[in-house]
Structure 1
C-alpha cells in the first residue's frame, strides 16, 4: 500500500523536516516519517526530549514552526482544527487526564454525551431511544477494542478511576478516545510505571487497535523492536529525531533534542 493513501478508517501520517521551537529552543526538529494507515508510530525517547510536543503537534494540538506534515492528507499547521477532529487522545498527562474521583461509568457516559453534542455525528438528531442505543453500541465497541472488561473491575462500572490499576486506566483512556472513532489515536507515556508483562500487554493493545485500521501514535521510553529491525535508517546527519524500524506495521521515532523539557509549557497549544 502506498503509505500516502488513506485507508477506509486510519490516517496516513507524513512529515518532512518537521520541527517546533519554543522560547528556550527546539522541542523537536528534522522529524521525517511516512506511515501508512493502520501503522503504530512509536515516539521513543527520555522524558524532556520533546516527544510529547511531537505527539501533540501530529494531532493538531501544538503549532509546528518548520517543515511540513500531513495527517490523512490534511496539511499542518493550516488544517490543525480538522486534524483535531479526526484524532483522539488517550492518556496524555496534563491534557486528557482521567478524573480520579469519577467512576468508569461516569467517564464513559460523559464522553458519549460530548461526542453526541460536539462530535458532528448525525446520530445527535435521531430519536432519544435510538441515540441511547447508538451511544451504548459505541461504548461497548470501544471497551471491546480496548480490552477493558468492566465486570472484572472491583466494583464493576462503579469502580473509581483512583482504584484502577495502571494498565486498566490505560485501557479506559483508550476506550474513551475510541468512542469518537478517531482515525489517529495518540497515547503518551505508554510504558510509564508498567511492569514488563503489563508493558508487553500495552503494546499488544495498541497493535490490536492498529490492526482494526486506526493509526496509533504512542510516546514511550523504549519501544519494542519490530521483527527484522535494521537499526537507525534514513535520517540526515544533523537530525535530532531519527526513524528506525522495519516493515510497514511499525515506525519508531527516537527523540533526543536537548533542552526540550520546558517546551510543552512555552509553546502555544491550539
Structure 2
C-alpha cells in the first residue's frame, strides 16, 4: 500500500493571467512533483506575484490549465487554498511591525485552531490543545530555521526589530503552522546578502526535501530548483502590482 505524498504536485499548461492592462503572464508550462522546490524566476513586474497567487488559488486565471495537488484550477480554487499557504507576499500577508514574534505565532495558532483544524480538536482538554499548539509552533520554527534565542528579546522581539532574513523566516514559520502541502514565498532573495541568500535557499531545499512543496518567487533561481520563468514578453504588461493590489482589496484568502 502506497501512502500519498504530503507535498502538492503542481502542473500547468499554457497558463496565463490577464489584468486590466493586459496579460500579467501567459504560456506558462510547469511540471513539479510533490516536495519540489519551484523557483518562479523573472524581473520585478513580469507577473511573478500573479503566478504565485494564481497557483495557490488566490487569483483567477484567464488561459490554459493548471492543477495543484490533483485539484484543477480555477474550478477548485477554494480547495486549493486549503492545501496551500502564503508566507511573505507584500501587500497580502505582511507582518505587523508593532507585534512581537510571540504575538504573531499565538495569533496564527488561534486562527488555525478555530478555522483550519477539525472540530473534534476543539473538544480536547485544554492542556492537550496547548501542548499540541506548542508542538506545531516548535516544528514550524525549526523547519523555517528561526532560532528564537538568537533574537534581541527572544520571542518578545517586535517585528520592526527583525532583520530581513529573520522576518522572512518568521513568515515561513507562520505559513507552516497549518501544515500546508505547498507554501509560497514572494521576493525570496530580495535585500539579502549572498551568504543570507544561500542560507535561505538551504532552508527551503530542506523544507522541500522533508515533503512540503515550496513555490518561491526570486530574481535568480538556485541550482536544483524546478524553474519557471515569467521573463517579460512582447504580449505582457507590467501588471504584477496592480493585480496583487486587486487581490488584497477583494479579501485576503
Q: Which residue of 1 aligns with 2:44?
A: 47
Normalized against structure 1, the TM-score is what?
A: 0.86
> What are the Cα deviations for residues 201-222 of structure 1, in whole angstroms up to 9, with x where unaligned?
1111110110110000000011
Q: Does 1:264 align with 2:239?
A: no
Q: Does 1:254 align with 2:229?
A: yes
> What are the Cα deviations for residues 244-268 of structure 1, in whole angstroms up to 9, with x where unaligned?
xxxxxx2111112341333434577
Mapping of residues 16-165 of structure 1, within 5 Å: 16-121=13-118, 122-165=120-163
Change in Cα spacing, 1:145 to 1:20, as seen in structure 2 (3 Å) is: same
Q: Which residue of 2 aligns with 1:222?
A: 220
Change in Cα spacing, 1:6 to 1:190, as seen in structure 2 (3 Å) is: farther
Give the deviation of 1:124 after TM superposition.
2.4
3-state SS, counterpart of residue 118 of structure 1: helix
Gapped regions of structure 2 (runs ≥ 5)? none
Distance 2:5 2:126 in 1: 29
Give the deviation of 1:8 after TM superposition.
2.4
Q: Does 1:181 align with 2:179?
A: yes
3-state SS, counterpart of residue 238 of structure 2: coil
Give the deviation of 1:225 after TM superposition.
3.0
Give the conservation status (yes or no) of the 8 Å contact 1:60–1:77: yes
Gapped regions of structure 1 (runs ≥ 5)? 227-249
> What are the Cα deviations for residues 64-105 of structure 1, in whole angstroms up to 9, with x where unaligned?
011111100001001101100100111000111000100000
Q: Number of aligned pairs? A: 243
Distance 1:170 1:6 in 2: 32
Normalized against structure 2, the TM-score is what?
A: 0.92
Distance 1:76 1:57 in 2: 8
